[in-house]
Structure 1
């Protein structure tokens, strides 16, 4: 395992060098920024435009991103279908990560509940392979821990899939250290995925130290905090339909104004100190916290174009202190991403 050895490889004439990181079980290093495709699925993001989404994925690949993260839960399979269309003819050059263990077939309204049973995993892997148009998945991750299924059942089923060649590497998402300990008794674990960004740092307490100790790569989702750290939001922004930000406390008054105030000060800091955007500053911060890989969510090609600005520079210890001070000045009552947790199934 060479997590601590970050390689730099020329990826495109249009970009600078992209940092890369090795994930155990995968034969090519992953770019330390991956394309996240939750919004591309449409569900909980107010719908999607398939053609635009395909162009977004292809734009990311053209710019040098070789890692794409998706899940069946993103649009009930729709995100995987879009990814499958976008990567035709390019599959072998890419690292495809998807997930398992959320089930929408058990409720009348098709809402998601956790189901990481062996039967569900066996069904989902075949569905995901079909949607993605591939015969293997590079990184297969349990989306949320299922309290009604033993770690042995879930982990052993994934380990069997790895040995069968249907998946290359195994990850878990939203797991605690104790849950990962139980999981690792039955499967070779390579990745842990959690919410992680400048505003949501809960994993620094336990998950990050655990990952460093056990040679796990940390996939941080929500790197831009649902768009807050893009630098393009204003207090007048309204969220429609099923957009999850309608339920996110960060996007409700008065907190929304507090977070936007922090973004404005971070934007000024990034410009004056490094001539960078707040978006580039936010992702750069995340990459310097450990063996991390940032998931950059986008559904329009132009939302990818600033990615090269993340690489080729570093923050100093003094920078990190000043960034923390900006957050403390502007956000009197910070909140985490707890609102996103899907419910567990009820015991029968």
Structure 2
């Protein structure tokens, strides 16, 4: 495994970081708790020392499962990345910005964005309890909240850093203008953004800005929620309540399949899976600090970690990029 410094901080994070959205279950067709805990532990056992989660993932369940998985381990050797800013329990919704309707067990649950100082403190304390720790390595605003001034949010994060409750502060899904606004109050450690072979829009302005200002980029959905593994072109089926039934529709399936078919021989020549090849390509892109990869069981987690063992020569990267160029313009979002 390779470990990288996050932005201007002293945090050393694993280049492949465990992404814990799916183990929360909601929007992903459920989960098996035992398998989820095993996936986190297998990640740690294979050099993936960093775990990214959020209170919203499973309405607290993801954080609880991670807390169970790391219990008894040396906390100093695990980096916990979590978020704040999405509320669903009704206590603060009137103060926030309506986002969307989630569901759990057939029940509709309105989700709001709220990044006020009071809510940050409330959410952090709940996350610390669920994770079974007394500090968070990286606390991130999950989504921008138009109802709260950027300065208020960033000042609260500065306070939490000074109190030792968090080691560093970042944002997620921030555009360039918001990054610049935040930078007037805090020195951001990172911005977590959607980035994949099929979604490279941040390369235009956000990545150059991040490189110039020493801000880490955390790439989420590098496998496009499983689409780039290739298995959904074979025999994998999605459950009815899996959000990917609609998500995959934004891409040209035929073109994505053609692209994956073109790079499959390269993966096979290296005794690697398509997902490993895609993950490794992503870690090698300019400005990308770490890449999130989810896993529902130990086998998937081990495979993700081993992606970093894959060596790609300049000409091989060139080949992938050439094949990708044939489909990217029509599949990018």
Partner of 1:231: 230
The alpha-carbon distance between structure 1 residues 35 and 268, as it changes in their structure 2 partners (threshold 3 A), is same
Instruction: Give the TM-score taking structure 1 as reference length.
Output: 0.85
Structure with the bigger RCO (C-alpha within 8 Å, sep 6+) is: 2
Q: Which segments of 5 or more consecutive residues in structure 2 lack a partner in the other structure? A: 102-107
Q: 1:42, 1:228 → 2: CA distance? A: 18
Confirm whether residue 326 of structure 1 aligns to residue 323 of structure 2. Answer: yes
Instruction: Give SS of 1:239's match.
Output: coil
Q: 2:237, 2:158 → 1: CA distance? A: 44
Q: 1:308, 1:130 → 2: CA distance? A: 28
Q: 1:70, 1:124 → 2: CA distance? A: 13
Superposition pairs of residues 115-130 of structure 1, within 5 angstroms: 115-130=114-129
Instruction: Give SS of 2:56's match.
Output: coil
Confirm whether residue 289 of structure 1 aligns to residue 273 of structure 2. Answer: no
Q: Which segments of 5 or more consecutive residues in structure 1 lack a partner in the other structure? A: 1-17, 337-348
Count the aligned residue pairs: 316
CA contact (8 A) 1:233 1:260 kept: no
Confirm whether residue 262 of structure 1 aligns to residue 245 of structure 2. Answer: no
CA contact (8 A) 1:25 1:169 kept: no
**Structure 1 segments of 4+ aligned residues over 4 angstroms from their partners:** 24-28
Question: What is the deviation of 1:30?
Answer: 1.3
CA contact (8 A) 1:228 1:260 kept: no
Superposition pairs of residues 148-159 of structure 1, within 5 angstroms: 148-159=147-158
Instruction: Give SS of 2:3's match.
Output: strand
Question: What is the deviation of 1:145?
Answer: 0.9
CA contact (8 A) 2:229 2:274 kept: yes
- The CA RMSD over aligned residues, in Å, is 2.1
Greater helix proportion: 2
CA contact (8 A) 2:8 2:214 kept: no
Superposition pairs of residues 169-180 of structure 1, within 5 angstroms: 169-180=168-179
Q: 1:278, 1:306 → 2: CA distance? A: 11
Q: 1:242, 1:313 → 2: CA distance? A: 35
Q: 1:251, 1:276 → 2: CA distance? A: 27
Question: What is the deviation of 1:117?
Answer: 1.3
